[in-house]
Structure 1
Amino acid sequence: MKKVFSFLTMLMVTFVAMAQTKEKYDFVVAQDGSGDFKTVQEAINAVPDYRKAGETRILIRKGVYKEKVIVPESKQNVTLIGEDEYETVLTYDDYASKPNIFGENKGTSGSSSFYVYGPDFHAENITFSNTAGPVGQAVAMFVSGNRAIFVNCRFKGFQDTLYTYGKRSKQYYKNCYIEGTVDFIFGASTCFFDNCEIRSLGRGYLTAASTLQDVEYGYVMYQCRLTAADKVEKVMLGRPWRPYAKTVFIDCLMDTHIAPEGWHNWGVEKEKTAFYGETGSHNYANDPIDVSKRVTWTRKINPLDYTIDKVLSDPDKPDWYLNI
């Protein structure tokens, strides 16, 4: 009798938990079939096109989901919540020189594991990865949509890990982890990286911004931690992919793996147009970094000019980045 009672109690608890989950989320993705869908793409496809009444919340259960995922422009205000940032993994292994079905190279953009085109996308507690390895450009995340938010997410790759593609897109990364070697945070978007770990797996460049000339802000690294794998050295803070690239580091911690000169010009003519600077840089002993050997063409910056309100303000949704 006790066994029957125990079984019924467990069953009731399970039903209650499932009911609570359904109240909190619109869809659940689970590989074992216990959710609404087995793949992430199926869940995204089920979101009504151009839904304006509210966000669509999707829970992704633990597991490694190997699939190329696209959030189209018509899927607006989509929120993905991972059950665990270390064990909810969305991954693929394409790379730029890999041929497509026509024998043509996929290219940098075509290599991405995950694409965001829809506005007001939000992700939490998810690892986005590209496992192609050291084969050239291999993007883990491609973000074109405006007002994208990532919280407690991890971006894992080797070269060109995070592609902030949208030329006038604004993006917010909070408490995230981003790893790679060469240009592994790159693109034209305006991005605020808040308390993120930026980890170098090899010698290279942390950033390669391609900011438009008439866009006020590019990349803002705020209170981030720059770390590196063993024996990695001579890493640059960034280089300008396009002439008017903008990147600043504010109150960041960095180790000796960052080269004393700090920045690369990627062509001497870009020294006149690129906007690179830092303030409040410290090492892990909390001593100020000696910036006397930084390249002479870096700019002096005032941190008050780079508050999150100024960088991410949007005329259509002024406080969108507070929705976390």
Structure 2
Amino acid sequence: MITRRLSAVAAVAAISVPLFAGNASAAAAITVAADGSGNYRTIQQAVAAATTGTVITVKAGTYQGQVSIPAAKSGITIKGATGTSTDIVITGNTPQSTAGAAGSATVLNMAANTSITGVTIANTYGSGSQALALYAGGDRQVYRNVRLLGRQDTFLSWGGTGSSQVRQYVYKSYIEGDVDFIYGNGALVIDSTTIRSLDRGSSNNGYITAAATNKANKYGILITRSTLTSSAASQTVALGRCWHAGGSADAIGQVLIRDSALGGHIRQAGAWQDMSGFSWKTCRFSEYNNTGAGATGGTADRPRMSAATAADHTAQKYLAGSDGWNPVQ
């Protein structure tokens, strides 16, 4: 059984003195550069100075340590200066076993209406503990052209306990990991993205998703127009398993993988797995219109969604909520 500790978000550290004090007050545009050529040397300093509408441009370089965006910092943008996500790397190596889920996350984003583009977010801890690259805990978040790197629990979409749900949209990005590396209870759309399962050198090379969608919520995790790939052995990676977070009977995970290319690493039998004593059949797992060696025509182990139902399970539907939000491209 995997034990997860979704710890409370720590307060943002005290603000350091900026390199150019004249640009620190309610700046609409902030530049971060590790070499000292910007307004701040660290992204965290820039977040502390940001207000709603601030665009934080991050120059090429490697930025160590957690970036925490608290709920009070809604409406900010963090973007890589070059447009090439490998040029700007935000990295940490803290495991969940010592810091909890929030404390381990290299980027802890609790703010609504935020956008992060053109960066890499990595947790290099490796195997032996859950270790998050991104904890997405705010509503209406957009991630474009990002690389999310980790192993177990790379990317968490989490709206807290109960039926409260956050929404996130990931577009033209890259996500890698091995165990439950896309997980949570949010309404999460992953669109036109490469999802790479790392090779653990085992007959069980892990699980891509672990949804804990509350039973009151129709939509959970949608993977669409994407590519699922791996160098792992044939039929050794599961599409996901049913995470009843905290043992909650109300966590009836929902995952749909549609219009995507599935590599031969995906299991034919056992593509959806039980977890912590809960059958995968208690959750809402399905596929629609996929291609590739890992796709299937539909079996008892690989439920297919009907065309009529799929028409009501689009990216726009997952994200619309009650306010009609539509970031889909």
How far off is 1:140 after superposition? 0.4
How far off is 1:87 after superposition? 1.1
How far off is 1:269 after superposition? 4.7
Cα separation, partners in 2 of 1:233 and 1:125, compared to 1, 3 Å: same
- 1:305 equivalenced with 2:303 (yes/no): no
TM-score, normalized by length of structure 2? Answer: 0.81
Q: Secondary structure at the match of 1:107?
A: helix
How far off is 1:256 after superposition? 1.1
Q: Secondary structure at the match of 1:86?
A: helix
**Mapping 1:195-214, distance limit 5 Å:** 195-202=192-199, 203-214=205-216
Q: Secondary structure at the match of 2:46?
A: helix
**Mapping 1:119-138, distance limit 5 Å:** 119-138=112-131
C-alpha separation in 2, matches of 1:110 and 1:32 = 27
Aligned length: 283
**Mapping 1:41-190, distance limit 5 Å:** 41-48=44-51, 51=52, 55-83=53-81, 84-97=84-97, 105-167=98-160, 168-190=165-187
C-alpha separation in 2, matches of 1:161 and 1:130 = 8
C-alpha separation in 1, matches of 2:135 and 2:92 = 13
Cα separation, partners in 2 of 1:271 and 1:158, compared to 1, 3 Å: closer
C-alpha separation in 1, matches of 2:123 and 2:231 = 18
How far off is 1:232 after superposition? 6.4
Residues 39-76 of structure 1: per-residue CA shift (max 9 Å, x gap): 0000000013xx3xxx2111000001002110011101
Long gaps (5+) in structure 2 = 1-26, 200-204, 245-250
Q: Could you say which residue in structure 2 is the equivalent of 1:321?
A: 327
Larger Rg: 1 or 2? 1
How far off is 1:309 after superposition? 2.1
Q: Secondary structure at the match of 1:44?
A: helix
- 1:221 equivalenced with 2:229 (yes/no): no
C-alpha separation in 2, matches of 1:292 and 1:300 = 9
Q: Could you say which residue in structure 2 is the equivalent of 1:7?
A: none
Q: Could you say which residue in structure 1 is the equivalent of 2:188?
A: 191
How far off is 1:310 after superposition? 1.2
Contact in 2 for aligned 1:145/1:166 (Cα 8 Å): yes
Equivalent residue for 1:295, pick from 275, 298, 301: 301
Structural RMSD (CA)? 2.0
How far off is 1:233 after superposition? 4.5
The one-letter amino acid paired with 1:209 is A
Cα separation, partners in 2 of 1:59 and 1:258, compared to 1, 3 Å: same
Contact in 2 for aligned 1:263/1:294 (Cα 8 Å): no
C-alpha separation in 2, matches of 1:64 and 1:135 = 25
Equivalent residue for 1:277, pick from 264, 272, 286: 286
Instruction: Please identify runs of 4+ aligned residues in structure 1 that moved more than 3 A.
Output: 230-233, 267-272, 291-294
Q: Secondary structure at the match of 1:193?
A: strand
Cα separation, partners in 2 of 1:271 and 1:160, compared to 1, 3 Å: closer
Contact in 1 for aligned 2:272/2:280 (Cα 8 Å): no
How far off is 1:299 after superposition? 5.5
Q: Could you say which residue in structure 2 is the equivalent of 1:18?
A: none
Residues 268-315 of structure 1: per-residue CA shift (max 9 Å, x gap): 65445300000111116xxx933444517x363432111222110033
Residues 140-197 of structure 1: per-residue CA shift (max 9 Å, x gap): 0001000000001010001110011224100000011000000000111011111111
Q: Could you say which residue in structure 1 is the equivalent of 2:19?
A: none
The one-letter amino acid paired with 1:319 is W
The one-letter amino acid paired with 1:295 is D
Contact in 2 for aligned 1:81/1:123 (Cα 8 Å): yes
C-alpha separation in 1, matches of 2:144 and 2:28 = 17
- 1:40 equivalenced with 2:33 (yes/no): no
How far off is 1:216 after superposition? 1.0
Cα separation, partners in 2 of 1:305 and 1:268, compared to 1, 3 Å: farther
Contact in 2 for aligned 1:158/1:201 (Cα 8 Å): yes
Residues 89-137 of structure 1: per-residue CA shift (max 9 Å, x gap): 111000022xxxxxxx322332111101110110111100001111220
C-alpha separation in 2, matches of 1:244 and 1:160 = 19
Residues 24-53 of structure 1: per-residue CA shift (max 9 Å, x gap): 9700000111111100000000013xx3xx
C-alpha separation in 1, matches of 2:100 and 2:44 = 22
Contact in 2 for aligned 1:191/1:220 (Cα 8 Å): yes
Long gaps (5+) in structure 1 = 1-23, 98-104
